[in-house]
Amino acid sequence: MKLESVPPCGSLELRKSGQGVLSFYWRVTLDGRTDRYPIGLYDSSAPPKSTSPTAKGFSLIAARAAAVAMAAKHYEAQEEGGIGPSWPVRRQRNRRSEMLPQRWDTRSTSSMAYMSSNSRSGIRRLRNKPEIYSPRTYALSFQKWRKRKQASKVTSAQIADVLRPLSSAGKRNTARKLKAYLSSAYERAKNPEQNATVSEALAKFKIKSNPVSDVAGVRQSRGADKNPLMPDEMRRYWRIIDVPGEEAALLRLHLMLGGQRIEQFVRMRNEHVQDDLITLIDTKGRSGTSRPIHLPRIPVIDEALKQLTPSGDFAISASPGRHLSPTTARAWAKRVVGDQLDGFELKRIRSGVATLLAKLGVSSEIRNHLQSHNLTGVEHRHYNKYDFYKEKKAALERMHKFLVSGR
């Protein structure tokens, strides 16, 4: 059974023997030939977040790390036909521990970002960004990097060399995301001698500094904040979605709650839907922290909620016990809007709401609290706990009036 794709090539698989024993394999196809390489047994008692095998076998995360290492080795040896049948499977924990920090090359530095991002304190949604680890991305990024480089010896100039081909090929968003994940990995692995929060797996890289921090930012080719729906387009959008049906109701609810980040919006929980407000959880920001977003309920929100299907703990669902996925939400939006708005993307609603509220005279402070945006600094984090409930409710009512009447 295929579990997931493995960057930069191949896939991680789980197979069950006739005796019921589960084993992990890495599978890859090269020149029409498909090979399957054993990783080890599945250990159901292993810590779920462990990145190293136990005496009994591998957790999913540990198997993923082993498959990534195999894939990186295979990718580098493509011209020689890949790693071949003689690939030595490292079954012993001490040999694997010795191998990782010393032998990982530049491709595996990216794999380190992958492991870090899938750790408990990492970037949870990295699994939704497979393009960063696609073979095409690797070909563009690492074609100049033929010699092995320890992660601790990579320089800022080399990071820039990795990002430059992507940017030159018009893949600026991919370059920007890759830079962000590499930077995150280095920050999480930096100075393990002075930082007890660095995991054991990352401490073995012996990172002293973050070479990505000195690399200039890659300008986004197109993003929600730079391409908002303008007020007249927002009125057209409202007319399009003000129709019967669950899919349109979802879009009305999303809009009238301020155009929240879609990943947070779809995770709305039943326990957070109260008589006078709805609370979403903003997990974007500092590692390990979250911020509640308190959103007032107005009649148009109540009407949209009644048309949506809750299930289990979640207020919006399309399958039993699970929240609606962001991908499904975007697909619903595409289906409802179609080609009635040029260049429509659901992410443009967030910046469209901010633009419209600014036009209606709503202060930036209220807009920021409504969308949980730009709430940084000591005052916002520790002292100013006022939730602006009345002001946010007035802003939503004013926005609804404009969408309906244009005034």
- For 31-124, strand residue ranges (E) read 33-41
Same structural domain, 233 and 95: no
Same structural domain, 234 and 335: yes
Give me the residues of the chain with pLDDT under 70, please.
30-32, 77-149, 219-226, 284-289, 374-386
Q: What's the pLDDT score for residue 173?
A: 80
Whole-number Å distance between alpha carbons of 269 and 312: 9
Is 364 a domain residue? Answer: yes
166 in Cβ contact with 110 (< 8 Å): no
Question: Cα 170 to chain center, whole Å?
Answer: 21
Q: What's the pLDDT score for residue 150?
A: 72
Same structural domain, 136 and 237: no
366 C-beta neighbours (distance < 10 Å), count: 15
Is 48 a domain residue? Answer: yes
Task: Give phi and psi for 111, each to the nearest 5.
Answer: -65, -35
Is 347 a domain residue? Answer: yes
Is 168 a domain residue? Answer: yes
Range of the domain at 300: 224-405
Please, what is the Cα angle at 197 between 192 and 199, to 5 degrees? 70
Q: What's the pLDDT score for residue 353?
A: 92
Same structural domain, 381 and 290: yes
Element housing 330 (H / E): helix 326-337
Per DSSP, the residues of 240-261 read: HH-SSSHHHHHHHHHHHTT---
Which two tokens mark 4? 């997931």
88 in Cβ contact with 24 (< 8 Å): no
Is 16 a domain residue? Answer: yes
- Taking the alpha carbons of 92, 95, 100, 104 in that order, is the dihedral positive or negative? negative
pLDDT in tens, 174-229: 888 888 888 888 888 888 888 888 888 778 888 888 888 888 877 655 444 457 88
Element housing 329 (H / E): helix 326-337
Q: What's the pLDDT score for residue 89?
A: 39
Q: What's the pLDDT score for residue 158?
A: 84
Q: Mark residue 263 as left, alpha or beta (left: phi above 0; alpha: psi -120 to 50; beta: remaining).
A: alpha
Same structural domain, 144 and 159: yes
pLDDT in tens, 143-179: 444 444 577 888 888 888 888 888 888 777 888 888 8
Q: What's the pLDDT score for residue 266?
A: 93
Same structural domain, 98 and 156: no
Is 114 a domain residue? Answer: no
* CATH classification at residue 240: 1.10.443.10
Same structural domain, 239 and 360: yes
The set of residues, in sequence order, having a beta carbon less than 8 Å from that of 11 and lying 6+ positions away, is: 2, 3, 4, 5, 26, 27, 28
Provide the domain count of the chain. 3
Among the candidates 53, 71, 103, a domain finishes at: 103
Same structural domain, 246 and 269: yes
3-state helix, strand, coil in the chain (%, to 5): 50, 10, 40
The set of residues, in sequence order, having a beta carbon less than 8 Å from that of 375 and lying 6+ positions away, is: 291, 368, 369, 381
Is 42 a domain residue? Answer: yes
Whole-number Å distance between alpha carbons of 348 and 353: 9
Q: What are the Cα distances from residue 156, in Å, to 108, 113, 144, 395? A: 17, 16, 15, 46
Is 117 a domain residue? Answer: no
Among the candidates 38, 73, 103, a domain finishes at: 103
Among the candidates 191, 221, 251, a domain finishes at: 221
Which two tokens mark 375? 């709430």
Same structural domain, 90 and 199: no
Same structural domain, 280 and 345: yes
Same structural domain, 157 and 95: no
Q: What's the pLDDT score for residue 349?
A: 92
Same structural domain, 281 and 385: yes
Give me the residue label for tokens 């080609």: 339
